[in-house]
Amino acid sequence: MRERMKAAVIGGTGYGAVELIRLIKIHPHLKIGTVVSNSQAGNSFSEAYPHLTGILEQPLEKFDPKTLAEQNDVVFLATPSGVSSRLVPELMEEGVRCIDLSGDFRLKTEEQYESWYKHPSADRAYLNQAIYGLSEIYAEKISDARLIANPGCYPTATNLGLIPIIRTNLVDFESIIIDAKSGVSGAGRGLSLTSHYVEINENLKAYKLGKHQHIPEIEQVLEEESGHPITVSFTTHLVPMTRGIMCTMYVNLKRNLSTLEVYELYKKFYKNKPFVRVRPVGTIPATKEVWGSNYCDIGLHVDERTNRLTIISVIDNLMKGASGQAIQNANLMFGWDESTGLINIPMYP
pLDDT per residue as tens digits for the range 217-250: 999 999 999 999 999 999 999 999 999 999 999 9
CB 249 within 8 A of CB 178: yes
β partners of residue 9: 35, 76
Q: Are residues 116 and 51 in the same domain?
A: yes
296 catalytic? Reply is no
Average pLDDT, the chain: 96
pLDDT of 266 above 90: yes
pLDDT of 34 above 60: yes
Q: What is the pLDDT of residue 2?
A: 67
Query: Is 22 part of any domain?
Result: yes
Q: Are residues 213 and 73 in the same domain?
A: no
* Total length of the chain: 349
For residues 104 and 41, the model is more confident at 104
Q: Are residues 159 and 236 in the same domain?
A: yes
Quick: pLDDT tens for 139-192. 999 999 999 999 999 999 999 999 999 999 899 999 999 999 999 999 888 778
Number of domains in the chain: 2
Q: Are residues 111 and 179 in the same domain?
A: no
Query: Is 146 part of any domain?
Result: no
Q: Are residues 102 and 195 in the same domain?
A: no
Q: What is the pLDDT of residue 338?
A: 98
Q: What is the pLDDT of residue 307?
A: 97
pLDDT of 80 above 90: yes
CB 299 within 8 A of CB 131: no
Could you tell me which of 202, 162, 139, 154 has the C-alpha nearest to residue 330?
A: 139
Q: Are residues 170 and 268 in the same domain?
A: yes
Q: Are residues 262 and 120 in the same domain?
A: no
Q: What is the pLDDT of residue 299?
A: 98
Burial 169-202 (b: 16+ CB within 10 A, else e): ebbebeebebbbbbbbbbbeeeeeeebeeeebee
| Cis check: omega of the bond before 349, within 30 degrees of 0 | yes
Give residue 186's domain range: 154-317
Q: What is the pLDDT of residue 149?
A: 98
Query: Is 237 part of any domain?
Result: yes
Quick: pLDDT tens for 95-151. 999 999 999 999 999 999 999 999 999 999 999 999 999 999 999 999 999 999 999
- Quickly state the pLDDT bin for 198 (edges 50, 70, 90): very high
pLDDT of 90 above 90: yes
Q: Are residues 100 and 212 in the same domain?
A: no
CB 183 within 8 A of CB 204: no
Task: Give the end-to-end CA distance of the chain in Å, rounded to a whole number.
Answer: 38
Q: Are residues 179 and 289 in the same domain?
A: yes
Query: Is 75 part of any domain?
Result: yes
Boundary residue ending a domain (113, 129, 145): 129
pLDDT of 1 above 80: no
Q: Are residues 29 and 114 in the same domain?
A: yes
Q: Are residues 168 and 301 in the same domain?
A: yes
Contacts of 56 (CB under 8 A, 6+ apart): 21, 25, 32, 35, 45, 46
Alpha helix (H) ranges present in 238-322?
259-269
- Quickly state the pLDDT bin for 3 (edges 50, 70, 90): confident
Query: Is 191 part of any domain?
Result: yes
Alpha helix (H) ranges present in the chain?
15-26, 45-48, 65-71, 84-93, 110-117, 124-129, 139-142, 153-166, 197-200, 215-226, 259-269, 324-333
Q: What is the pLDDT of residue 194?
A: 80
Q: What is the pLDDT of residue 196?
A: 87
Q: Are residues 122 and 186 in the same domain?
A: no
CATH at 101: 3.40.50.720
Q: What is the pLDDT of residue 274?
A: 98
Helix (H/G/I), strand (E/B), else coil: 183: coil
